[in-house]
Structure 1
Amino acid sequence: MKVFLAILLTAILTNNYILSKFLGICPFLGVSKKLNTAVGMSLAVIFVMVLSTAVTYPLNTFLDNHGLGYLQTIVFILVIAALVQLVEIVLRKYIPALYKSLGIYLPLITTNCAVLGVTILNIDSGYTFAESMVNSFGSGVGFLVAMVMFAGVRSRMESCDIPKFLQGLPITLVAASLVSLSFLGFTGLVENMFA
């Protein structure tokens, strides 16, 4: 149980895919303007990350057992694309407002390198199936935490008087770097907690 908790906290806080591995930057910068959109996108990413790990882990075992390991990336992308289509269909039918607000970013989950990165890095890290599922869930929650924090920062920036030369992307990148720096403080905490 201690191992699962360590994997979960590490994935959320110190190995955050957005803030430390810089994977998933496109939705991080594009969908974080409004809190409800950021949360909706993050929940969709959590769902796709966990489900794609549940499907790709046994598929990878099959590929390795048959000497087809070189097909790993292609197969993983196809699985992720199919799962994103499933999420898109469900959102369009049951939550049309969220579907509309996510816009182009929903199909972009297919090419979200954080989702692909989680599935590949779970295997490269030598995690068992259960550990991979915990890491995927933790990575998705870390994605959610980063998105919610950054959406909060961006909403506060809207009411600030920002110099003309920093408006738009420059101040967004500065704010993103400060949010990223805030997570560095957790590195020693998580390492010492499970030492």
Structure 2
Amino acid sequence: MELVSLGIKSIFIENMIFAYFLGMCSFLAVSKKVSTAIGLGAAVIFVLSITVPINWLIQEYVLKEGALTWLGAGFGDINLEFLQFIMFIAIIAGMVQLVEMVVEKVSPALYGSLGIFLPLIAVNCSILGGSLFMVQRDYTIAEASVFGFGSGTGFALAIIALAAIREKLKYSNVPDGLKGLGITMLITGLMGIAFKSFIGIAI
């Protein structure tokens, strides 16, 4: 039940977009069409679901102080946490490269629609944020896996919902001063307030 609660919390209450404003560049740029938003959302779910548990293993068995004791007693005092950012980003970049190759092979149209924002998932702060939050909150491997999937799902839900609204805005009478990014930011703020309504819900 705790894992279910953590999953729902990471999707709705601690949503990467609406609670922490991480990954806003791709969120705003790729949310013009639902089809493109679904593609990016699926890619983010995959990358977060894979990289957060892998980075947990690296943190626990390679980076943190005493993690290398499995190599021998003489390695117990080694602390490699200063390499944390580099290692995490390297894992993320490798997974993003894999996603990019698969998307290009399976759906060239989606690959073209996502453009530069697909490889930029590697430097998307919501992806790195997932791994850093996992370390900060001292999750277990099971919690890290659920958190990674939930965070990716929350990002996908947010970007798909915004894309659906923006498609409808084409037929709306938006004031000239708010057209484009202005109305998008306003809608994002309102969606963030809506997601905050989940705070306090306990399972």
Could you say which TM-score interval applies, normalised by the shorter chain?
over 0.9
Q: How far did residue 54 of structure 1 move?
A: 2.4
The one-letter code matched in structure 1 to 2:63 is: L
Once the two structures are aligned, what percentage of the paired residues are identical?
41
The one-letter code matched in structure 1 to 2:46 is: F
Does the 8 Å CA contact 2:53/2:148 hold for their aligned counterparts?
no
- C-alpha separation between the residues in 1 aligned to 2:143 and 2:53? 11
Does the 8 Å CA contact 1:149/1:179 hold for their aligned counterparts?
no
- C-alpha separation between the residues in 2 aligned to 1:50 and 1:105? 19
**1:138 equivalent in alignment to 2:137:** no
Q: Tell me the equivalent position of 2:128.
A: 116
**1:150 equivalent in alignment to 2:162:** yes
- C-alpha separation between the residues in 2 aligned to 1:96 and 1:52? 25
Q: How far did residue 55 of structure 1 move?
A: 1.6
Q: Tell me the equivalent position of 2:43.
A: 44
- Structure 2 unaligned regions, length at least 5: 68-77
Does the 8 Å CA contact 2:31/2:37 hold for their aligned counterparts?
yes
**1:159 equivalent in alignment to 2:175:** no
**Aligned CA-pair RMSD:** 0.9
User: What is the total number of aligned residue pairs between the two structures?
Assistant: 190
TM-score of the two chains, using structure 1 as the length reference: 0.94
Q: Secondary structure at the match of 2:185?
A: helix
**1:63 equivalent in alignment to 2:63:** yes
What are the residue-to-residue correspondences of 1:96-111 with 2, within 5 Å?
Answer: 96-111=108-123
Q: Tell me the equivalent position of 2:86.
A: 74
- After superposing on structure 2, the runs of 4+ consecutive aligned residues of structure 1 that deviate more than 3 Å are none
Higher CA-based Rg: 2
- Range 55-64 or range 127-136, more displaced: 55-64
Q: Tell me the equivalent position of 2:189.
A: 177
Q: Tell me the equivalent position of 2:74.
A: none
The one-letter code matched in structure 1 to 2:135 is: I
Q: Tell me the equivalent position of 1:32.
A: 31
Q: Secondary structure at the match of 1:185?
A: helix
Q: Tell me the equivalent position of 2:70.
A: none
The one-letter code matched in structure 1 to 2:121 is: I
- C-alpha separation between the residues in 2 aligned to 1:166 and 1:46? 31
